Amino acid sequence: MKRLLTNIKKLVHVENQPVPYLKGKAMNDLTSIDDAFLEIEDGKIVRFGPMTDLHGSDISGTTEYLDCTGQWVMPGLVDSHTHLIFAEPRAREFEDRIHGLTYEEIAARGGGILNSAAKLAEMPEEQLYDDAMARLHEMIQTGTTAIEIKSGYGLSTEAELKMLRVAKRIKRRAPIPVKITFLGAHAIPPEYKENPDGYVDLVIDEMLPKVVEERLADYIDVFCEKGYFTVEQTDRILKAGMAAGLRPKVHVNQFNAIGGIQTCVENKAISVDHLEVMDEGDFKALANSDCMPVALPSCSFFLGIPYTPARKIIDSNLPLALATDYNPGSTPSGNLLFVWSLACIQMKLTPTEALAALTHNAAYALELNDELGSIAVGKTANLLVSEPMDSLGHIPYHFGRNSLSRVLINGNKYTHLEP
């Protein structure tokens, strides 16, 4: 099936020779084509260029035309860090924070991750699946065209496997690419409070072999942070994951810089995520690696904590990706358009830099950069069509509003999620 998008006001981030990721000034230097066309066949981008290159003989056999007069077309957004599967929201903890309790204080009294784990253990897999698919549908409506899903609300072998099986089912049936991350080391369960190394042993010796045996995950993750998992424990888990064929994608530096980034780089992590607190050693470690820094501004917004120093990261000639961190405790939103706004308003990225972080670099953080992230021949036609607008800044400027006219998945207009 052949589709043709015509009269595109601006076709954004086209690449004739794709690169794995963008860093530094290159993130603000995306190539665009004015008054453009784009041709799609069998779900792939097969041709694009200025309208003057399009002739009558070129469009024979076209099944559908989409007139994009006044509209911009760009790569679909990619969410490389989510906790999409959870049992129920944690609105009560939201009120606790309003009354002055910190995230750490709520966690210390049994809230936070432990609360989500208790609720998840009680919920049937079918309900977890239905709820997560409904959330995914909402996310696609606001431009998400590929996603990562983590476990981590199980904290027992049985419950972690339950989460991952739900994620695998979503991966099979979702209309967009899905990557899965095993996050058994998300928090220390109460029964291991006095023996955290014993829980690390459980993750490595019992959970991980079953995850690998059932082929339930693409990556491995750890919450490397004071009060959660030490650098040494993180190193053990990441090495075990790598030996089992799971590359690391790691929660690190959310509240403290304790050397976790260096350990992640040494263990060939594809990404390090959060990074609200960074020191000079962290910048040096990232400069000598191909590890993608991932900022989660919605989490900073919701918790009232510092934002990742995104401006300094880019100005240090490093790459940067953006993601939602969608979860019930610290980021109850999967809206990447709002992340785009926060990146510009709070972290001082240009709209173009933020788009690069949400597409090209986010795709790299999921090892999908050969498939998604830019307008290039052979890539999947997961695309966004804006409403009529005069600048890229129109989208982040209208924070909290969906400025997209349509989302194309495999070249088709996305309307609803199949059950």
Q: Which amino acids are annotated as binding site, given as ranges? A: 81, 83, 90, 153, 186, 251, 254, 325, 327, 329-330
Give the residue numbers of the binding site for N-formimidoyl-L-glutamate.
153, 327, 329
Q: Could you tell me which of 255, 281, 254, 244 has the C-alpha nearest to residue 266?
A: 281
3-state SS, residue 38: strand
Amino acid at 27: M
Tokens of 151: 């476990």
CB 4 within 8 A of CB 56: no
Give the residue numbers of the binding site for 4-imidazolone-5-propanoate.
90, 153, 186, 254, 330
Helix, strand, coil percent values for the chain (each to nearest 5): 40, 25, 40
Give the residue numbers of the binding site for Zn(2+).
81, 83, 251, 325
CB 254 within 8 A of CB 217: no
CA–CA distances in Å: residue 73 to residues 104, 165, 187, 315: 42, 35, 41, 27
Q: What's the CA gap between 209 and 189, in Å, rounded?
A: 20
The DSSP element (H or E) to which 219 belongs, if any, is: strand 219-224
Q: Could you tell me which of 187, 185, 177 has the C-alpha nearest to residue 208?
A: 185
Q: What's the CA gap between 381 and 224, in Å, rounded?
A: 36
User: Strand pairing of 32-41 and 2-12?
Assistant: antiparallel
User: Strand pairing of 144-150 and 178-185?
Assistant: parallel
The DSSP element (H or E) to which 281 belongs, if any, is: helix 280-287
Give the residue numbers of the binding site for Fe(3+).
81, 83, 251, 325
